[in-house]
Structure 1
Amino acid sequence: MFKQNNRSHFTISPNGKYYIEVIDKNEDSYLFNRSTTINIIDIDKYELVHRIPLDFFGIDAVYWLTNERIIYESKGAIKAVDIDGKNLVEIVSRINYKKKSTYWNWQANLRYNSIISLLHNKSHQILVQTYDSNLHAAIKEINIYTGEEYVIMNADTHKVNHWITDAFGNIRMAVKISDKGMSYYYKYDPETKTLKPCIIKIGGNQYSFTIDPRTHLKQYLTFEGFGYNPNIIYITSNIFSDKREMFSYDIEKEEVIETFVADVNCDVKDLDGEGIKFIFDYNNAEIAGFKYTCLTPKYKWLSSSFSEKVAKLNSQFPQFFNEIIDLDVSGNRLLIHQWNDSSTGNIGVFDVQENSYAVMFHFNEELNEYALSKSKVVIAKTRDNYNIPCYFNLPVNIKENEKIPLVVLPHGGPWARDYWRLDDFSQYFTSRGYATLRINYRGSTGFGKSHVLAGVSSLDEVMVNDIADATQFVLEKFPLDKENVFMFGHSYGGYATYFCLVKYAELFNAGISIAAPTDIKAWMKKQKDDDNYYSYEFWNTALGSNESSYLKKISPISYANDINSPLLIMHGGKDKTVPVDQAENMIEKIKKHNKNLEFRIWNSADHSFTDIDDFKEMLEKSNQFFKNHTK
């Protein structure tokens, strides 16, 4: 389940005949042991037509130039090759050879190139955004045959970090990022070739897209993109509603046109997670619909023909969410990612005319022989009668009258959320006989402005109380063993584990805290010492105060003497998000009085335990810990 998938960049040819997948085999941490190949597969015959071996830099994006030739990005270089592997040429280099290079300034000549548009109205040109060593962006049209560059916007002219173009490749907006990490949006005037702040006027008030750490949690507007009308932009906002909605806005007339996507339960775009995905109908040059995330993923269709196509597919495979990831020019063949809460799924091709579906590739195929747990959406009631969205999983094949132990999995962040999907921690523990509960406590993003702001100044209060209340709710609703309720938390989840064992020791009989902060004052000082302005100011706002007495109050280490329940602390020695001394100091305080304390420090592990062997050992140690402390 935790094995890293090495296939990506799935795409279908314009004529719908071929399918591409990129296979990236990074054998170990050494760059030169990496191998990348592009597989070209005939869809109708389901056979490998060509395998193109590439260099060790890997691939960032792949596009079809024609039915017989592809173009791809590789760590700043742009290259093109025929689908039989012949005529490989580098169109744009990651090194600017026009500048004189020496041993001492070679780094200043590096550049990163990314394709903005294939410019189908100019068959021999592509539109590229080029970032220099100062991260300033230029816009260029580049000839795919000769590599000749025509500079549309020089990087030094406005010192912009990112340009935004419309569907026709015209420069419309710009983003500048300050050295403090704040993002400022500007409108570009092509006649005067000047920038002016991008101001959105709604209801007599003025707003901007500026991303500021002090207002991040209540961000009023976010820019989502352009459609085919060059004057219409799409915006998500919580101005009109507590829940973030998406509407269209005319930037010339300065007026809201129409609300397209809204949901009574959720934000349609999670500021710090999954967002809106546009589905384009290239044949008719219009937006076909939008994918967004609610309690479960959904589509909002604007095109009746697309809606009918997907309805046909859904009728065949109602157990999956059928997500469109690409389509041919005719729109008769759709490249689909089928997935759900108990399967990572497959990549397949749906032929609309034949009403047939052909699987091209299975993710984690060896899992298909197992029955995995399904996620149930549960709305838990809190002590103040507030609704908390949760995901609850039971083990497969429950025996009658069986009392099932529960593992509570509070997510990290805490300004994040849990989603309906195959959750690896839930599947790991349910396969070992536990039920699991994932809780979108107040403070979680994605469930409205009031929901997220309720967590400000309440890391140790409202958030922790919601976790306890949701746990109590499912204990009363499902056949669970109330004597065996465990906590398993990573990052903020580990922080919440400490506080739950302090405040609700009678509810949770053991807990595991992984990579968790314990001394908030010391952690904030580290942010300041590292000159991490954005993170420091964000947390200053989220915590609600930087007074020493308050930071002490919300620090788990202040309550180390009150933790007497069985506890396992785990941390990575190379954790740059939460330094390992946060765990070490907590361990020293607790082990003096708590005989049920266990701990493990992985010297080479990072914050997320990205090494699969470390991750496996961490999970197995957790499972054994729960077994040892099951009543």
Structure 2
Amino acid sequence: MTRLPLASTVLPAALGLLGLLAGCSAQPDPERSSSPSASAPSSAAATAGPDPTPSASPSPSPSPTPSATPEAEPTPKPDPVSMAALIDLRYDGRDLDRGRLLADPGPYKRYAVSFRGDGKKITGIMNLPDGEGPFPVVVLNHGYIDPDTYWSGQGMPREQDVLARRGFAVLHVDYRNHAGSSDDDGGEAGTDYRLRLPYVVDTINAVKAVKGATGSRWTSLDRGSVGWFGRSMGGGVTLRALAVQPGLVDAAAVWASVSSSEADNWERWYEDDPERRATNRRIDRSYGLPDDSPAFWRRASARPSFDRITEPVLVQHGGSDRTCPVRWARTTVDALEDAGVEVRSTIYPGADHTFEGRTFTTAMDRTADFFDDHLR
């Protein structure tokens, strides 16, 4: 603030008034003491008179107030039972181990195998063609079989045999809770409660274990050429795995697959199953049922994530399938095409879920040819 010169005739009166005010109160005004004000002139200044050339008194520059840096909002973690949670998961499939020889049909040998991942040991079988290779690898994801009656390699025996005879190494995954594999938290009921998403973890770790296999026992594997092949429930496992880990395999085939919408699958197998009543109550409490919580069920489904898939997909389905309705396959193919996925599909009129007789032969030839095109 500019200090104005005081006239000599006014100054004595002003000083007298200041002394009078000072005698009225011994306590400073708290309001005034908290706010900046100009200093009263000293007696020396009064005697000397005004400066001949008054100038503005520089006010101290206020220190800049540091602006608070807004903290970034933490990214919310996805629901543990969702495709997003699988996408965020770190996969550590490793330690592919070959156990005892189970059979020697001639063109290939059949071995017990195991690998590790997600804190678990997962068992399976491998058909390994005779010869030096390298042989492309097809990882098989089997359909639903009661874990209490399942034995290692039980699913897809015909498919295992044909692919091995066509020169593919075949790894059939048992999944957790099956055969010699580790149990999931809560066993099979715990896996059902999580809508079987843990099986996706197992097959992704199977591929990781194949790609990381070392040692003389695995020199005949072409670890850079791997495909997935899933049937029924395993078809759903395969579709989810493709969306979760795009680029991990080179191609995938699905036969007679469950729906790519988990709400369809719950209504088909869970809703009226008396053995799943406790699981259904738990699902209802935690997530809500499909009619009440459609957003949750979409997040747990493969279909909304089809735009992440980068591999060609072969879809084959029976036109008279009474287990997995053919409309599910048509809807899945349409959604894959809409997402820009390269997809081939065949519907076999009159064929049921199991692809018997000539249907199996034709479908299997098409599948092996498809893998020949993309894995060799």
**Normalising by the residue count of structure 1, what TM-score does the alignment of the two structures yield?**
0.38
CA distance in 2, matches of 1:394, 1:623: 16
**Aligned pairs for 1:88-487 within 5 A:** 341-342=103-104, 371-382=106-117, 384-396=118-130, 398-399=131-132, 402-413=133-144, 415-416=146-147, 417-419=150-152, 423-444=157-178, 450=184, 451-459=187-195, 461-477=197-213, 478-479=218-219, 480-487=221-228
Which residue is equivalent to 1:560? 306
> Does residue 627 in structure 1 map to residue 372 in structure 2?
yes
> Does residue 540 in structure 1 map to residue 280 in structure 2?
yes
CA shift, 1:564, in A, is: 2.8
CA change 1:448–1:509 in 2 (3 A) is: closer
Paired residues of 1:527 and 1:536 also in contact (CA < 8 A): no
CA shift, 1:415, in A, is: 4.5
Which residue is equivalent to 2:262? 520
Which residue is equivalent to 2:26? none
Residues 135-154 of structure 1: CA distance to partner in whole angstroms, max 9, x if unpaired? xxxxxxxxxxxxxxxxxxxx
CA distance in 2, matches of 1:469, 1:614: 32
Which residue is equivalent to 2:350? 604
Corresponding residue SS for 1:406? strand
CA change 1:487–1:447 in 2 (3 A) is: closer
CA change 1:403–1:372 in 2 (3 A) is: closer
CA change 1:430–1:617 in 2 (3 A) is: same
Residues 10-46 of structure 1: CA distance to partner in whole angstroms, max 9, x if unpaired? xxxxxxxxxxxxxxxxxxxxxxxxxxxxxxxxxxxxx
Corresponding residue SS for 2:257? coil
Q: Which has the higher contact order (CA 8 A, sep 6+)?
A: 2
CA distance in 2, matches of 1:541, 1:394: 44
CA distance in 2, matches of 1:453, 1:535: 10
Paired residues of 2:228 and 2:251 also in contact (CA < 8 A): yes
Q: Which moved more, 1:500-509 or 1:419-428?
A: 419-428
Paired residues of 2:309 and 2:341 also in contact (CA < 8 A): no
Which residue is equivalent to 1:279? none
Residues 121-177 of structure 1: CA distance to partner in whole angstroms, max 9, x if unpaired? xxxxxxxxxxxxxxxxxxxxxxxxxxxxxxxxxxxxxxxxxxxxxxxxxxxxxxxxx
CA distance in 2, matches of 1:538, 1:560: 32
CA change 1:485–1:420 in 2 (3 A) is: closer
CA shift, 1:606, in A, is: 0.9
Which residue is equivalent to 1:20? none
Paired residues of 1:411 and 1:418 also in contact (CA < 8 A): no
Which residue is equivalent to 1:121? none
> Does residue 616 in structure 1 map to residue 361 in structure 2?
yes
Paired residues of 2:127 and 2:160 also in contact (CA < 8 A): yes
CA distance in 1, matches of 2:163, 2:312: 18
Which residue is equivalent to 2:15? none
CA change 1:392–1:494 in 2 (3 A) is: same
Paired residues of 1:445 and 1:452 also in contact (CA < 8 A): no
CA distance in 1, matches of 2:159, 2:281: 31
CA change 1:378–1:533 in 2 (3 A) is: closer
Structure 1 regions of 5+ residues with no counterpart? Answer: 1-294, 297-318, 320-339, 344-370
CA distance in 2, matches of 1:414, 1:508: 25
Larger radius of gyration: 2
Q: Determine which structure has the larger helix proportion and give its number.
A: 2
CA shift, 1:448, in A, is: 6.7
Which residue is equivalent to 1:300? none
RMSD over aligned CA atoms reads: 3.0
Which residue is equivalent to 1:353? none
Paired residues of 1:415 and 1:445 also in contact (CA < 8 A): no
CA distance in 2, matches of 1:509, 1:557: 20
Structure 2 regions of 5+ residues with no counterpart? Answer: 1-98
Paired residues of 1:341 and 1:423 also in contact (CA < 8 A): no
> Does residue 579 in structure 1 map to residue 319 in structure 2?
no
Corresponding residue SS for 2:228? strand
Paired residues of 1:572 and 1:605 also in contact (CA < 8 A): yes
Q: Determine which structure has the larger strand proportion and give its number.
A: 1
Paired residues of 1:341 and 1:420 also in contact (CA < 8 A): no
One-letter amino acid matched to 1:513: V
Residues 540-569 of structure 1: CA distance to partner in whole angstroms, max 9, x if unpaired? 379775343332222222222222310011
- Report % sequence identity: 23
CA distance in 2, matches of 1:385, 1:523: 28
One-letter amino acid matched to 1:487: W
Which residue is equivalent to 1:219? none
CA distance in 1, matches of 2:178, 2:282: 12
Paired residues of 2:152 and 2:180 also in contact (CA < 8 A): no
CA distance in 2, matches of 1:425, 1:542: 37
CA distance in 2, matches of 1:512, 1:469: 18
CA change 1:499–1:406 in 2 (3 A) is: same
Corresponding residue SS for 1:540? helix
